[in-house]
Amino acid sequence: MNVIETSGLGKRYGRTWALRDCTLAIPGGHVVALVGPNGAGKTTLMSLAVGLNRPTRGAVTVLGGEPAGSPIALGQIAFVAQDAPLYRNLSVADMLHVARNLNQRWDASRARARLTELDIPLSKRVGELSGGQQAQLALTICLARRPDLLVLDEPLAMLDPLARHDFMAAMMAAVAEDGVSVVMSSHVLAELERIADYLVMLSAGRVQLAGEVDDLLASHQMLTGPASETDKYAERMCVVQCRRAGAQAHLLVRTTAPADPVPPGWEAQPVTLEELVLAYLREPAAAVLPGPAPVGTSHRSEVQA
């Protein structure tokens, strides 16, 4: 089952396209990292998927074909925006009461147990909580709804390292306990590398890279060798990025087979998720969707070290 599926999806604000020609199928059972530079269309894609916006063109369905924003979809998707919609003047207990009245599916005992475990007093005003505690309260409200899909838009942006770690631990515990699918956008690549097993990358409103993280990493490698031979090698492989450091060059390449031969005089190393994402962020034209890259196709950007 695909938890989010789009076909030719586009959203325009005035004359500006925030998202266009987006065709995507995100399978369930994954923790999905949605990455891209500011203005890439991440928030727009999420808002369309959860039914907060309507597309200008194309279509988006969720949870195996339900129209985004339909009553069935709304009852099974929980969404946390970067500025979590919490009422600062209410107590935590009153915030839970409001959430319970707004949702058909609600597990009150689970919500109170989580807050007790996190040492968040029910009597305290929401506005008096730390940023980390507010993020945990927003997550608690989402999990109390027992969703099938959890959508998180930059939930770590305002949190310190300890609060980020605690938030991610709580989210992954819910994934393990409930089997909930997660789609999360974030600029904190180190955190995403720890937990994500599926990647979707947007650039300039278009899907640039999508697939299971293990498959994407296996289809790329970092080659180190003589800078004088980079042009010759680029004729045979898909070079995403080239970094030169004196007489030595580092090429991040997309391979065409599981065991492409390494040229004499070169060394191959595996690529990390952070290296992969940064390379494509620096080279948006190197659009790669699932499937083999054609031999001799190079989308190279050169960086002098």
Closest CA to 206 of 2, 14, 23, 16: 23
Reported as type and span, the H/E element at residue 89 is none
pLDDT for the residue numbered 300? 42
**Half-sphere exposure for 303 (CA within 13 Å, toward CB):** 13
CB 178 within 8 A of CB 142: no
Rg (CA), the chain: 22
Taking the alpha carbons at both ends of the chain, their separation in whole angstroms is 45
- Are 208 and 224 in the same domain? no
- Are 199 and 259 in the same domain? no
Angle at which helices 92-102 and 108-117 cross, to 10°: 150
pLDDT for the residue numbered 303? 44
Q: What is the DSSP letter of 270?
A: -
- Are 91 and 112 in the same domain? yes
- Are 163 and 266 in the same domain? no
- Token readout for 225 is 């060798």
pLDDT for the residue numbered 67? 96
- Token readout for 231 is 């042009």
Quote the domain boundaries for residue 240. Answer: 219-304
Indicate which CATH number applies to the domain containing 59.
Answer: 3.40.50.300
Residue entry with tokens 């697939």: 211
pLDDT for the residue numbered 259? 59
pLDDT for the residue numbered 301? 44
CB 146 within 8 A of CB 178: yes
- Are 208 and 223 in the same domain? no
C-alpha dihedral, 185 to 119 to 145 to 202, nearest 10°: 0
Domain end residue (candidates: 212, 247, 280): 212
- Are 76 and 143 in the same domain? yes
Distance of alpha carbon 31 from alpha carbon 171, whole angstroms: 10
- Are 111 and 187 in the same domain? yes
pLDDT tens digits, the chain, 305 residues: what are they? 999 999 999 999 999 999 999 999 999 999 999 999 988 999 999 999 999 999 999 999 999 999 999 999 999 999 988 776 799 999 999 999 999 999 888 999 999 999 999 999 999 999 999 988 998 999 999 999 999 999 999 887 778 888 888 888 888 988 898 899 999 998 888 888 889 999 999 988 889 899 999 999 999 999 999 988 877 766 667 888 888 888 898 889 888 665 567 878 889 899 999 999 999 888 766 554 444 333 333 444 444 44
pLDDT for the residue numbered 289? 46
Distance of alpha carbon 128 from alpha carbon 97, whole angstroms: 18
- As for how many domains the chain has, the answer is 2
3-state secondary structure of 204: coil
Domain end residue (candidates: 171, 193, 212): 212
- Are 184 and 133 in the same domain? yes
Alpha helices in 118-209 (DSSP H): 131-144, 161-178, 189-195
Domain end residue (candidates: 212, 246, 275): 212
- Are 82 and 230 in the same domain? no
pTM of this prediction?
0.85
pLDDT for the residue numbered 290? 43
CB 240 within 8 A of CB 212: no
- Are 178 and 292 in the same domain? no
- Are 58 and 177 in the same domain? yes
3-state secondary structure of 53: coil
Query: CB count, 10 Å around CB of 25?
Result: 13
Residue entry with tokens 């993280």: 213
For residue 203, give every residue at least 6 positions away whose Cβ sits within 8 Å of its Cβ, in sequence order, or none.
36, 37, 40, 280, 281, 284, 287
Distances (CA, A) of 273 to 106, 201, 208, 267: 36, 12, 15, 19
- Are 279 and 203 in the same domain? no
